[in-house]
Amino acid sequence: MTNEERRQLVEIIHSEIEKLQAKADTLKDFTGPISPDDAIGRISRMDAINNKSVFDASLRNIETRLDQLSQIKQIVQNQDYGICIQCHQSIPFERLKLRPEIRLCANCLRR
């Protein structure tokens, strides 16, 4: 991997972290508890509880990806970054651009 490709990946990682943090902040507004005192009908309340669980799951996924990106940000300059941790083959740059936190090549991920 060239230095220019590493620089591009660092920019992508920083950009993804910013976007995900903004999404997480937005979702946190929707994941608060549903008060039983809300003047909504039974079905509307059930719908609100269901929506909250969907928002909770989305927030957990975003937080997981943020953790992964933060960890990758620390090792992107290492020589072994971009190398599959299982088969030790190079991970294609285009794949890393889409998911910089990926540590397995497509073949090893399928197994």
28 domain-assigned: yes
Place of tokens 């991997």: 1
DSSP structure class, residue 38: S
36 domain-assigned: yes
Number of domains in the chain: 1
- The token pair that represents 35 in the structure block: 């008060």
105 domain-assigned: no
pLDDT digit string (tens) for 53-88?
899 999 999 999 999 999 999 999 899 999 999 999
Mean pLDDT for 12-29 is: 94
pLDDT of residue 49: 79
94 domain-assigned: no
Distance CA 54, CA 30 (A): 10
65 domain-assigned: yes
Q: Judge whether residue 99 has pLDDT over 60.
A: yes
11 domain-assigned: yes
pLDDT of residue 32: 74
Arithmetic mean of pLDDT over the chain: 89
Q: Tell me the Cα Rg of the chain.
A: 19
Q: Judge whether residue 35 has pLDDT over 70.
A: no
101 domain-assigned: no
DSSP structure class, residue 104: S
- Tell me the residue range of the domain where 44 lies: 3-78
62 domain-assigned: yes
